[in-house]
Structure 1
Amino acid sequence: MLIEGPKGCGKTETALRRAHSVVRFDTDPAARAQVDLNPGILFEESAPVLFDEWQRVPAIWDHVRRHVDDMRGRGLCILTGSATPTDARELHSGAGRIGTLRMRPMSLFESGHSTGEVSLAALMRGEDQRARLARTTISQLMERIVIGGWPMLLEADEAFARRWLADYLTQIVEVDIPSLGTTRRAPDRLRRTLAALGRGVGQPVKLTELAADIAGGDDQRPAKETVSAYVDALHRLKLTENSPSWRPHMRSRTRLREAPVRYFVDPSLGTAALGVGARDLLADPQAAGFHFEALVLRDLRVYAQSLDGTISTWREAHGRKEVDAIVETPNAWAAFEVKLTGDQRVIDAAAQGLLDFASEIDTSRHGDPAALVVVTARGGGGRRPDGVHVVPITALGP
């Protein structure tokens, strides 16, 4: 089993609860050397063997694959990694031998900040869901965005979390990205890239637009290839997780936008890259709305994963109509709009937008939506007379 995800999300700690022995490639040079000298000895440990930070020695991948073939067993090895190796394309596929589990920072339900009264699985089955009135304040939700779902920050206050995340991004810029060897070492521009992505959270920002933002006051903006390399490096470090464009069969000839909508794997990375805290978000409702959307999308990805679900977005070419998230599972699909405000008029408009969107889908090919949902920051949860669910994020769960 390969467990992959960003640094600090709990991969190793989770794997250690299942493993009977561990080989730490990041701190044990002798173990790294053994892969070339006598790799077989590494598999003599009690199974399952955990190979931590396996990407430090990519050759172990093929040895694990061969060991699984030779032993004809299951549960033999666990690999954890926070980056995709530079030469990953040269590795033999692990299909049929090595399963993959994606880990992310913790959702609000996992960290204890959501009751989980409204089940995504139940919504995908078309069941009515209800929730009591949410008591979490907007200010508290802004703090959860800034602190994020990192296990190390579960009991942390905002000031400590911001220092920790600043150090985390410094490590990414000065050590992790250069270690990939795919980009020229340019820490200032890498920081500007993170900030540009922070400003573009929840938006379909093109590489050319990122380049202009990264350049700032410089006369010469980075080439598209350079920006692409920066973005790819962040993707390989599992720090970004974009929503691809959903391309449904529609009854109308609506032209759809194809660019992915950009998100960090955790909303705290966007605010940390911008150097803003909860008070700053409260002073800028528009920015707060985008970062709240990033929080909701993180949780939807976590909850949808156990359903073999995927997350996409739907937007018209000119941006007049959009749906923030389409959750698809093997047997159903549902549409979600995210609204930070509790203004009933805004929620009514979002619900009507979902109904209009659903009416344009060719249900003979896609089937009827299992649920149409407006996710809010506060309030109660339930199904409206028009069939649209309203769900506070602090009530949503798997």
Structure 2
Amino acid sequence: MIYKKRIVDGLLELKLESFGATLITGPKGCGKTTTGKQKAKSVVEFQDEDLRDNLLSVAQVQPSKLLIGEKPRLFDEWQDAPKIWGAIRKSIDDEQKNGLYILTGSTSQNVQTPHSGTLRISTMKMYPMSLYESEESNGTVSLSQLFNDPNSFDGCHSDLSIDKLIFAICRGGWPSAINNTTPIAQLQIAKDLFAQTCSVDISNIDGTKRNKLWTQNLIRSYARNLCTLSTLQTIFKDIQNCGISESSFWNYVEALEKLFIIEDVPAWNPAIRSKSAIRSKDKRNFIDPSIAVAALGLTPEYFNTDFKTLGFLFESLCIRDLRVYSSLQEGQVSYYHDRYDLEADAVLHLGDGRYALIEIKLGSNEIDAGAKHLCKIEELVRQYNEKEKQVPMRLPDLKIVLTGTEYGYKRPDGVFVIPIGCLKD
């Protein structure tokens, strides 16, 4: 099967150039091993049943023997042989070279290592595929180019219809789903991921037996509260009638975070309002919107009559893609919301200090309101700078309304309207 290029490929190259080894983390099924193999010159697969017993025996007795081979050398499912971590760490110290090893493995097992690997083994996070990587966004608008030269933007046109967008949300960015040949087969992957998470992975992550029903209810409640500011206490109250205790609830949430199922969006707290005015709770989210669809048992056809739920799922998809597109620039996604209902659905900060205020609106009828919010936040920053001239805040480098519509353009107020079906890194 032909490898679909991933944006994180460039980040892996940088990690290999900078560190002795790279550990690729991320949710199950996002393509960690396949991506690692593109850069590796030799591979050790602990899940190969023909070789497994022998490999594990060597890893237990003399793990350094498994390091012999062309570099970079990839260890897949390395957590099955945890002593390999220490051997790799020592090898890096001895050889004083970079780009020697790549480690990948399942997120369903948490491994405690005797050494952290700091400055030797760097961690790199992968996400499911963005719309550009799955070839559903035409990529006519580069996020990095927009930051570097906003004046280069001359409008755009998306080929992604609303029906195709709905299907992409339901299917998710899982490579195995995208590679399946029929729509019904593509939709099965997220359903199976949800089922496996609840029945197997939630217990395997740390060897603690957990209740399948409690896990299902927790994820479903999270799905109902997707991209909202609902507190975890609210979600607990929603499911406590199933018999779960509060301490168990927090334990389950932590396990789902370790599995990269849950990935909330933190709040951005600039000094433009009083601390009591700005919301500081995390916004509830999954690593991929298809998890919410699978948990709620919905189909693409359902959204023909429920655009409100679709709007929350669309926001989740856009946040996923923004995280992927900004990964090479150390992008961090947060949100802004205050008690006056002034909001930015996403605030994208790059590693060099530049940032964009972003509203996410599925339909064209919400674009004006979203743009006004962004301009108002920018004005608040200006007003703050007038008062705090000694330590001014940076004005937003970009104001963007991300949409599910067809056409992109720049408004007279400086806000860029960009269809998600046009965006890339």
- Give TM-score, length-normalised by structure 2: 0.87
Offset from partner CA, 1:185-244 (integer Å, 9 cap, x none): 2001111112112112111232211112223x54x4x23321221121111112222211
Offset from partner CA, 1:224-280 (integer Å, 9 cap, x none): 321221121111112222211112121556622222112211111110111101111
Out of 348, 360, 363, which is 2:368 matched to? 348
- Measured in 2, the distance between the counterparts of 1:73 and 1:148 equals 38
SS of residue matched to 1:17: helix
Task: After TM superposition, give the deviation of residue 61 of structure 1 in Å.
Answer: 2.0
Greater CA drift, 364-373 or 174-183? 174-183
Out of 210, 214, 224, which is 2:246 matched to? 224
Offset from partner CA, 1:285-337 (integer Å, 9 cap, x none): 11000000011111000001111111111122x47222111111123011110
Change (3 A) 1:30 1:207: farther
- In the alignment, does 2:104 pair up with 1:80? yes
- In the alignment, does 2:364 pair up with 1:337? no
Out of 175, 188, 212, which is 1:163 matched to? 188
Preserved CA contact (<8 Å) 1:246 1:326: yes
Partner of 1:5: 26
Residue identity (%): 35
Out of 79, 97, 102, which is 1:55 matched to? 79
Out of 91, 101, 108, which is 2:124 matched to? 101
Give the superposed CA RMSD. 2.0
Out of 273, 284, 301, which is 2:306 matched to? 284
Out of 67, 70, 90, which is 1:46 matched to? 70
Partner of 1:21: 42
Q: How many residues align?
A: 391
Task: After TM superposition, give the deviation of residue 85 of structure 1 in Å.
Answer: 5.3
Change (3 A) 1:252 1:258: closer
Preserved CA contact (<8 Å) 1:252 1:360: no
- Measured in 1, the distance between the counterparts of 2:53 and 2:217 equals 34
- Measured in 2, the distance between the counterparts of 1:240 and 1:253 equals 27
Out of 164, 168, 183, which is 1:140 matched to? 164
- In the alignment, does 2:393 pair up with 1:366? yes
- In the alignment, does 2:111 pair up with 1:111? no
Change (3 A) 1:57 1:196: farther
SS of residue matched to 2:364: coil
Change (3 A) 1:56 1:196: farther
Preserved CA contact (<8 Å) 1:116 1:397: yes
1:173-322 maps to which residues of 2 (within 5 A)?
173-181=198-206, 183-215=208-240, 218=242, 220=243, 222-250=244-272, 255-316=277-338, 318=339, 320-322=341-343
Preserved CA contact (<8 Å) 1:146 1:268: yes
Partner of 1:151: 175
Q: Match of 2:226, as an amino acid?
A: V
Preserved CA contact (<8 Å) 1:131 1:395: no
- Give TM-score, length-normalised by structure 1: 0.92
Partner of 2:90: 66
Change (3 A) 1:323 1:167: same
Task: After TM superposition, give the deviation of residue 184 of structure 1 in Å.
Answer: 3.8
- Measured in 2, the distance between the counterparts of 1:391 and 1:133 equals 9
- Measured in 2, the distance between the counterparts of 1:270 and 1:325 equals 19
Task: After TM superposition, give the deviation of residue 29 of structure 1 in Å.
Answer: 3.5
- In the alignment, does 2:410 pair up with 1:386? no
Change (3 A) 1:310 1:253: closer
Preserved CA contact (<8 Å) 1:182 1:233: no
Change (3 A) 1:32 1:248: farther
Preserved CA contact (<8 Å) 1:182 1:229: no
Preserved CA contact (<8 Å) 1:135 1:378: no
- Measured in 1, the distance between the counterparts of 2:298 and 2:108 equals 30
Offset from partner CA, 1:335-365 (integer Å, 9 cap, x none): 110001122xx21111001111122234553
Greater CA drift, 35-44 or 134-143? 134-143
Out of 139, 144, 148, which is 1:121 matched to? 144
- In the alignment, does 2:380 pair up with 1:357? no
Task: After TM superposition, give the deviation of residue 375 of structure 1 in Å.
Answer: 0.5
- Measured in 2, the distance between the counterparts of 1:173 and 1:121 equals 38
Change (3 A) 1:394 1:85: same
- Measured in 2, the distance between the counterparts of 1:165 and 1:118 equals 29
SS of residue matched to 2:55: helix
- Measured in 2, the distance between the counterparts of 1:59 and 1:270 equals 37
Offset from partner CA, 1:39-67 (integer Å, 9 cap, x none): 11011122221111223333322221111
Q: Where in structure 2 are there 5+ consecutive unaligned residues?
A: 1-21, 386-390
Greater CA drift, 225-234 or 372-381? 225-234
SS of residue matched to 1:365: coil
Preserved CA contact (<8 Å) 2:23 2:102: yes
Task: After TM superposition, give the deviation of residue 134 of structure 1 in Å.
Answer: 2.3
